[in-house]
Structure 1
Amino acid sequence: MNIDIKALDNIIKETVSVIEKSKEQIYEIAESARLECQRVEEEIQQVKSQVAKIIEQVNQLELAERKARIRLMEVSKDFRRFSEEDIKEAYENAQMIQLKLVMLREEEKTLRFKRDHLELSLKRMRDTADKAEKLVSQVGMAMQFLSNDLSGLSEKLGNLHDMQQLGISIIRAQEEERKRVAREIHDGPAQSMANIVMRAEFCLKLLEVNPSLVRGELISLQQLVRQSLQDVRKIIFDLRPMVLDDLGLVPAIKRYLEDYKSQNNIHVEFVFLGKERRFDTSLEVAAFRIIQEALTNIKKHAKAQHVIIKMELIPTRINVYIKDNGCGFNMETKKPRSDGSGYGLMGMKERIQLLKGGLAVYSAPGKGTEINFWLPLNDQS
């Protein structure tokens, strides 16, 4: 049977295109944050200019106020030279200058507060923009890895129907991931940033009406910013755990399992045999994603309460054993469904084959599922 390589290549290109569009959307968010930073910087410069002008006016009025007080003392002491009208005029002039001086000083104080608040907001916006740019980088790395992973599909698949279904399921999975990331950004950081802007504007108005309430509003605003930061960090971790790049495979798995247990109420036991060390990036990412996919399948389908994961490091390869006490399935009748689901095991198999590893799956109804896979180390240091 002839395999239509061109059709498969089109599927691969569409998949990469979907991920590229997702990356562009996140980039637009980062760019919008940068533009907002520029706008705030311009506003800060305007406020600083206003403060400088008011300081100059205050200095001039202070000189005028001193002269007015001296004049008032002169006319008040010499009743023979100055009339009552002269005294009244001097008093009213001094009083008017003092009133203007008080108003200008109050305006200067308000502008200084606004300047400080804008500078604090600018710092937070810059932090948000930096995190969004890091998120773009993470998506780019994921796209690069996925592109490399997909490039071997045409050589690995031996059946045209299976190739088409796998391609469709990958596109669907990436589209769902795109929707999930967009939804999390929209429901989390994006709405929080909009709320922060509105709350900041409310604080500015509150300064004019009831300054005593501003402190409470700023504390609430601070909590909102912290929550937004947590949301961004969660999105970044879901796309690519930073601990995987910083500390390696085993710490990343442990961190993921902690979140998995708390979120799904499934007891997971992790055993590592050997000495922890760093591996090639592609191997670390593949091993992490395979374990992640296995646990996702357990959560969705197995109805398990207990999972054990054993990872063994020997000189030539990594061995991983995953066993759950779930409902299991009939391996002879287990096929990918028409809706594109059911390709979890196939995706795991493809990742392992690309790295020239091996996979074995054992399951039966009511007896749980065992997954054994290994990945070669290829003399990595």
Structure 2
Amino acid sequence: MLIKNSEKAIDQVIDEMIRVVKSSKNEIFNISEQARHEYDTLKKELEETKRLIIEYIEEGDRLEIDMRASRKRLAEVSKDFVRYTENDIHQAYKDTHQLQAQMTVYREKEADLRKKRDDIERRLVNLYDTINKAEGITSKISVVEQYLADDFFQVNELIETAKEKQAFGLKIIEAQEEERRRLSREIHDGPAQMLANILLRSEIIERVLHENSVKAAIDELQSVRKMIRSSLYEVRKIIYDLRPMALDDLGLIPTIRKYIANLIDFHQIDIDFVFLGEEKRLNDKYEVALFRLMQESVQNAIKHANPTLIQVKLQIQKKNIIMIIKDNGKGFDVNIKNENSFGLVGMKERVDMLGGELDISSKQNEGTTVIIRVPDAAE
């Protein structure tokens, strides 16, 4: 009875997870549609505002021409007291003042419309970004939903006891929440901040161009280009963290080569990759695990060791796969346990799942070497 109740409880947890995922996807979709509707409305309002600006500019220019003619007339009347009467002079003053007042009103309205146009354009940029992000998140949630709906129930059948099911379910929930927190931090600290800076810089460029300072505008554009490049790297890194698409399409070795090339380009650090053996596809779980192990090791070296050279070696033998990641960084004392070293714990768990061995050797100022051995598992 206890086992049945436990099984029923974990099934309810899974059903609730699926329900929450579907609900979240619908909410994000509604946000996307609302943003798209507002975007279309603002687009029309922007076109109308631009049209009005042109009208006010043309009318203001016409009034300016009339006012110059009126001022000329006023000067002419004021000089010739014999030819023109006091009423003529008074009327000339009145006409000039009226034209000046009208032109001032038109110029003020033109300035207000320009401010409105700039505000609408900024809102359109933000809405466009919101729409793209919402669509991207919806796509990712769809993948998660499909996984939960199909694969989770198969995993559920493999867990023999209610205790195992409960522990596994809690671990999955904990991992999902941790992944959400990590992605939230990375998007907030990376692409979101970069995009905000790019938007601000674009406004600076617009002001600089209005001031006819081409050189300053070019300097700002070069700075924006660097920000865009950095933001693109951060987005690619997040995608890689989720799951590199090349891993499914091309396999482990090409994906490692591409990943390392991106790291070299961004960090300007020497990373050597050597592959020995027959280049073949491995079992999917092996390819994912080996890529994550390599990724974690290299990222740890870059983040913590400050190396000038990282060497990655992958060898596929008849019965074993050996991966070695070595750096010449500052190293660390392997005997001192860091309670926050979740990355190393995760690496050990991945290797254990593959039935392999993980050996990490390091000394202060002498670099670190990570050796991973797992049994071969070709497709």
- For the superposition of Structure 1 and Structure 2, which TM-score range results when normalised by the shorter chain? 0.5 to 0.7
CA RMSD of superposed structures (Å): 5.7
Task: Give the CA deviation at 1:181.
Answer: 1.7
Q: Structure 1 residues 295 and 211 mapped into 2: Cα distance closer, same or farther (>3 Å)?
A: same
The answer to whether the aligner puts 1:93 opposite 2:95 as a matched pair is yes
Identity rate, percent: 32
Alignment map for 1:219-368 (pairs within 5 Å)? 219=220, 222=224, 226=228, 231-244=234-247, 250-258=253-261, 269-271=273-275, 286-295=285-294, 308-310=313-315, 321-324=321-324, 359-362=354-357, 368=371
Instruction: Report Cα offsets for 1:17-44 as digits up to 9, x if no partner.
Output: 6665775686677567646635743652
Matches within 5 A, 1:1-381: 5-13=7-15, 16=18, 34=36, 37=39, 40-41=42-43, 44-45=46-47, 47-48=49-50, 50-51=52-53, 54-55=56-57, 57-58=59-60, 61=63, 64-65=66-67, 68=70, 72=74, 75=77, 80-84=82-86, 86-87=88-89, 89-91=91-93, 93-94=95-96, 97=99, 100-101=102-103, 104=106, 108=110, 111=113, 115=117, 118-119=120-121, 122=124, 125-126=127-128, 129-145=131-147, 147-158=149-160, 161-190=163-192, 219=220, 222=224, 226=228, 231-244=234-247, 250-258=253-261, 269-271=273-275, 286-295=285-294, 308-310=313-315, 321-324=321-324, 359-362=354-357, 368-376=371-379
**3-state secondary structure, aligned to 1:82:** coil
Structure 2: segments with no counterpart, 5+ residues:
327-331, 335-341, 362-369
Q: CA deviation at 1:194?
A: 6.3
Is the 1:321–1:373 Cα contact (8 Å) retained in structure 2?
yes
Paired residue type of 1:238: D
Letter in 2 for 1:170: I
What is the distance in 2 between the residues matched to 1:251 and 1:25? 38
Which TM-score applies when normalising by structure 2? 0.60
Number of residue pairs matched by the alignment: 343
Equivalent pair of 1:323/1:370 in contact (CA under 8 Å): yes
CA contact (8 A) 2:201 2:224 kept: no
| CA distance, structure 1, for counterparts of residue 298 and residue 168 of structure 2 | 22
Q: Distance in 2 between matches of 1:122 and 1:245?
A: 36
CA contact (8 A) 2:31 2:134 kept: yes
Structure 1 position 91, deviation (Å): 4.9
Give per-residue Cα distances to partners, 1:44-99, cap 9 Å, x unaligned: 25633542552464376367548746855885797655225523541563365257
Aligned to 1:336: none
SS in structure 1 at match of 2:375: strand
Using structure 1 for the length normalisation, give the TM-score.
0.60
Q: Residues 212 and 293 (structure 1 numbering): CA distance in 2 closer, same or farther, change over 3 Å? A: same
CA distance in 1, matches of 2:314, 2:201: 47
Letter in 1 for 2:290: I
Q: Which has the higher contact order (CA 8 A, sep 6+)?
A: 1
Alpha-carbon shift at residue 158 of structure 1 (Å): 4.5
Structure 1 residues 133 and 344: alpha-carbon distance in aligned structure 2, compared to 1, 3 A threshold: same
Aligned to 2:377, the other structure's residue is in SS state strand
Aligned to 1:152, the other structure's residue is in SS state helix
Q: Distance in 2 between matches of 1:133 and 1:99?
A: 51
Check whether the contact 2:351–2:358 (CA below 8 A) recurs between aligned residues: no
